[in-house]
Structure 1
Amino acid sequence: MMRIDIHKLLKLLAFNEQDPLLFNSAFFLIFFGFFLTAYLLFQKNRNTRIYFLTLFSLYFFYKTCGWYVGFILLAAVVDFNISKIIYETTSKHARKVLITLSILLNVGLLFYFKYTNFFIDIINDVSQQQLHPLKLLLPVGISFYTFENVSYTVDVYRREIKPVDRFIDYLFFLSFFPKLMMGPIVRAADFLPQIEKKPFVTDEQLGQGLYLITAGIIKKVVISDYINANYVMYIFDNPSAHTGLECLLAVYAYAMVIYCDFSGYSDMARGMAKWIGFEINLNFLSPYQSSSITEFWRRWHISLSSWLRDYIYIPLGGNRSGYFNTYRNLFITMLIGGFWHGASWNFIFWGALHGAALALHKLQKDYERKPLLVIPYSPKVTKFINKILVDLPVFTVPYSPALTKMLKVMATFHFVCLGWIFFRCNSFADSWTFINQIFSHFNIAVLPQLVANYANVIMMLWLGFLLHSITSPTELEYQKFLTKLSTPLKIVYLFAAIYLAIQFKQADVIKPIYLQF
């Protein structure tokens, strides 16, 4: 009898490909509870605390992706040592060789797992070869910790930070479990100084953590998973079988699914970090309230957009080399950002779409400051064309700034939704089929039936947009309210959110969308 129990326990603690350990699983909540209890025993001693957190993070990663945990260990060893050599080397040439080597090793490993089969397909299409795709599985989180590795070594190379002295500190930074799988992408300069601080969790952090964890659970499990399983997957898997109205609702639904899925997971990551005494950066700030595509990328996946700005856009030249080069750099940066998301023409087109939009918005802002287009001997035509370039894209309504902003927000949101079609569809052809259904087979007559059949989905969709519309001051006030609750009431509040999530949890495990990246 004892052997059976031990066998079951070992099986439960081992990696299960069919049931990976995710924040939205019931087992993880129990797992995290045991972790917090043990952490209280080790937190006072600096070294014990770091070793315990690192080992727990690596075990958590093992439970999520199996022996691929070895890649994060390899990445940590390589970049820890290269960065130290870079910092100690005075030769400019040697430093450039070393930083190039570091980037090639990091990006090369990512490229091998993520893009090899994509380029094999391209070679087969172009040359009529019959190369067989490799049987590769993408290691979980590799895109995120690769970017963290690159930013660390580049920052050391730029002399913006000093490399850490101890390997365990760097491994802890890289493997810190709340942000390991799906971000946010954390900068070493923001995280490493926190290691030296004495672990002291304030009442504010407890309240903020409680708010973020419970909000994340509701976003991910209650809203995103429900809408995804009961409507979005059904429509996107076969768009040609549905009317344009059904497809349009699916676009709006997916916009909320991906927001609640990713921001919910980010919220949980930030909340758990706060409960351990660490701060990781905000990753979403009500992005669908943006009135321009530029503002959208300041609010959506903030850690990625800032990384792309600092390590791709600015090194390309940023806005320092004239108008055309600025627009080109914006386009290239977003093209790379699209390709980062996945080896697919859909992601490349999605990145190009956003890159073109950012470039056009920058062009429009440049025209506002100084009209660039001049038609010789025709000031009226010049004025007319410049007015179109300045005014039309922003939907300016005379004497009504509120209505003007609302139109801008709606235009930006619908452009983002257009991009989500390519982001979500299974193929490039399906994306155009989806768009064709909306514009060519829009049957308003099915509206009553659609509302009747998917009333719960529509209700969840409205709930998602309602939560999204909550302002930052309101969130802060609610966090203060939670902070003031007694410990028993905090526990009741947490378990109420978990109970609610259990009631809405889908039969099949719905993995986080960004887990694939």
Structure 2
Amino acid sequence: MNRLSDIFKFSEDYPLIFTQANFWIFFVVAYFLFAIVHKKIRLRNTYLFLISLFFYYKTSGLFIGILIFSTVVDFFIGKNIYKSQQQTKRYILVTLSVVINLTVLCYFKYAYFFTDSFNMLFHTNFEVVNWLAHWGNSFNNQNYFTVDKIILPVGISFYTFQTISYSVDVFRKKLVPLKSILDFGFYVSFFPQLVAGPIVRAENFVPQISKPTVITKSDFDTGTFMILKGLIKKMIFADFIAMHFLDRVFDAPEMFSGFANVMAMIGYSLQIYGDFSGYTDIAIGLALLMGFKLPINFNSPYKATNAGNFWKRWHISLSTWLRDYLYIPLGGNRKGTVASYIILSVILLGVLYAYQNMLVVAIVLSSALLIYILSLFNTTVKNQINTNINLMLTMLIGGLWHGASWKFVIWGGLNGLGIVVYKFWRKVSPYESNNQWYVRWWKILVTLTFITFTRIYFRGESMDHIARWYKQVAYHMDWHYAVDVLIHYQLVFWVMLLGYVTHWLPTSTKTKIEGAYAKSPAFAKVLIAAGVGVICYQAFSTDFQPFIYFQF
């Protein structure tokens, strides 16, 4: 009885995440009630909005107030943008939406980042104070909220981007605003994708809100298959290898050989894919069971043949969002803007300060000066520079979106550099038009290697931690211990091999597997689900293993 009560109150010990039994108890109850109300559109939307608020409360407690605030603000701003006939007023309103949303996001996500950067740059000692907590405590004269620490609300980046896309799409006249705030609240907070995506675009999801619920046998089969596939990815290909090998290495890289550190990075690429792709697979499956379609967020990213192709396959909802709402407004591949140069300069100065290495500073400043001089005498070079500045800026900001640290900016910059370098390489590459299987696999291997080893900036806890990892790889590979490492962690490496092999299976083979599942009788589906459940929970850790992207 106590466990049941824990399900319906906020508790850090019993969060509602997809790998916890509590969530599936919650979903069974929620789905039963959904089956009762699903035929009445208004009632269905209201119910899903309220159940989604409850889900978010279970995940983030009183931070539900931030979600409600964003919902109310953007609902009324969207209505006023649509009603206004004056273009200036429309610009002011959409700018207000963007500013309010980004201000809230920056306060919770980047307060420490900006304060620490300012202190380092100007040698000051400012400290972060949680003014919202201070204000909240003043109401009851009790220290209920901690004022000396700002805690990041789960999923704030995802629902902030969704509310911004709504206001911008209404401004661009791609969308007629919703009439009911309950319907809009449902769009913002739909619980399967609320805390870790995929990012739902208003123009794609809002039209579904007013349609009757239709759940076909195909939707049910696809939905349950996606859920089972997501659980396998998350609990076996992510959590199992992390708990039994990766976390041990990354916690103390100097205690392991360089070879073990390299293998940990290869494993981390599988872990983060299994973790994030597994979450979105489950989210898409849950939505299908309720008659709603969420966008595909991953398309076999480790089959990518270059860095640009990788970002068309990885976190697709974020990549396309950044393209449409940042890259194109900054000028895209057509022109540069003043904003582009200002923002890029600030970011580059920050990165240089983070490195604090005179050689790096000299190389970057010399390169920038050379590029500037060339642009003065050649229009083609100038256009190329503008295009690549916009691309790099998008990737740098994309890196900063992932985390409030300069190491994330560096990670984003390295990925942007990989895309830019490939754009020039493909013009001279003798292999660009070669479709031989071995050429394709060579491209895949090079791309995966590049993506994997830039991720040390993503996984490393600090620049010092990253430096220790590099030191082990550079000076202590200890090849003579490689076989011992492989034998000692052989189960982990077998799971890693299985994960990559299944990822690289041809699309036609994966389609056949899903088709065979769909054609199987009901009792077979039950047996498959039971088998997956047993395997997953046999590999399951008693330790809390949150989804990696919850922190973003």
Deviates more, 1:217-226 or 1:233-242: 233-242
SS at match of 1:316: coil
In the TM superposition, 1:290-439 aligns within 5 A as: 290-321=304-335, 322-365=383-426, 368=427, 390-391=428-429, 396=431, 401-439=436-474
CA drift at 1:28 = 1.0
Contact 1:214 1:494 (C-alpha < 8 Å) held by counterparts = yes
CA drift at 1:129 = 2.0
1:37 is aligned to 32
Contact 2:327 2:391 (C-alpha < 8 Å) held by counterparts = yes
- Describe the superposition over 1:360-415 as per-residue Cα deviations: whole angstroms up to 9, x where unpaired: 223334xx2xxxxxxxxxxxxxxxxxxxxx22xxx739977322222211111111
Structure-2 change in CA distance of 1:398 and 1:328 (3 Å): closer
1:108 is aligned to 103
Deviates more, 1:199-208 or 1:263-272: 199-208
- 2: CA distance, partners of 1:495 / 1:35: 21
1:23 is aligned to 18
Q: Among residues 192, 205, 210, which one is paired with 2:206 in the alignment?
A: 192
In the TM superposition, 1:490-505 aligns within 5 A as: 490-505=525-540
- Describe the superposition over 1:312-363 as per-residue Cα deviations: whole angstroms up to 9, x where unpaired: 0000111112211110000000000000011111101001111122222233
- 2: CA distance, partners of 1:22 / 1:73: 21
Deviates more, 1:121-130 or 1:232-241: 121-130
Structure-2 change in CA distance of 1:400 and 1:469 (3 Å): closer
2:49 is aligned to 54
- 2: CA distance, partners of 1:166 / 1:486: 42
1:215 is aligned to 229
SS at match of 1:130: coil
Contact 1:20 1:64 (C-alpha < 8 Å) held by counterparts = yes
Q: Is 2:163 aligned against 1:149? A: yes
TM-score normalised to the size of structure 2? 0.85
- 2: CA distance, partners of 1:43 / 1:488: 26
CA drift at 1:19 = 2.9
Contact 1:201 1:275 (C-alpha < 8 Å) held by counterparts = yes
**Residue type at the aligned position of 2:13:** Q
- Describe the superposition over 1:167-205 as per-residue Cα deviations: whole angstroms up to 9, x where unpaired: 111110111011100000011111111122221211111
- Describe the superposition over 1:234-279 as per-residue Cα deviations: whole angstroms up to 9, x where unpaired: 1111212221100000000000000000000000000111111111
TM-score normalised to the size of structure 1? 0.91
**Residue type at the aligned position of 1:216:** G
CA drift at 1:83 = 1.0
Q: Is 2:251 aligned against 1:234? A: no
CA drift at 1:101 = 0.8
Q: Say what the alpha-carbon RMSD is for the aligned residues.
A: 1.6
**Residue type at the aligned position of 2:128:** P
Q: Among residues 60, 64, 73, which one is paired with 2:68 in the alignment?
A: 73
- 1: CA distance, partners of 2:433 / 2:291: 50
SS at match of 2:312: helix
CA drift at 1:286 = 0.8
SS at match of 1:317: coil
2:217 is aligned to 203
- 1: CA distance, partners of 2:440 / 2:174: 39
SS at match of 1:96: helix
Gaps of 5+ in 1: 369-389
CA drift at 1:8 = 5.9
2:117 is aligned to 122
Q: Among residues 522, 537, 540, which one is paired with 1:487 in the alignment?
A: 522
Number of aligned residue pairs: 486
- 2: CA distance, partners of 1:431 / 1:179: 32
CA drift at 1:9 = 4.2
- 1: CA distance, partners of 2:189 / 2:295: 16
2:174 is aligned to 160
2:377 is aligned to none
**Percent identity of the aligned residues?**
38
**Residue type at the aligned position of 2:293:** E
1:92 is aligned to 87
Gaps of 5+ in 2: 130-148, 336-382
CA drift at 1:467 = 2.0
Contact 2:37 2:43 (C-alpha < 8 Å) held by counterparts = yes
- Describe the superposition over 1:443-477 as per-residue Cα deviations: whole angstroms up to 9, x where unpaired: 11111210121011101101111221133322222
**Residue type at the aligned position of 2:66:** F
1:371 is aligned to none
Structure-2 change in CA distance of 1:263 and 1:398 (3 Å): closer
**Residue type at the aligned position of 1:91:** Q
**Residue type at the aligned position of 1:465:** Y
**Residue type at the aligned position of 1:337:** G
Contact 1:327 1:363 (C-alpha < 8 Å) held by counterparts = no
Deviates more, 1:273-282 or 1:189-198: 189-198
Q: Is 2:128 aligned against 1:133? A: yes
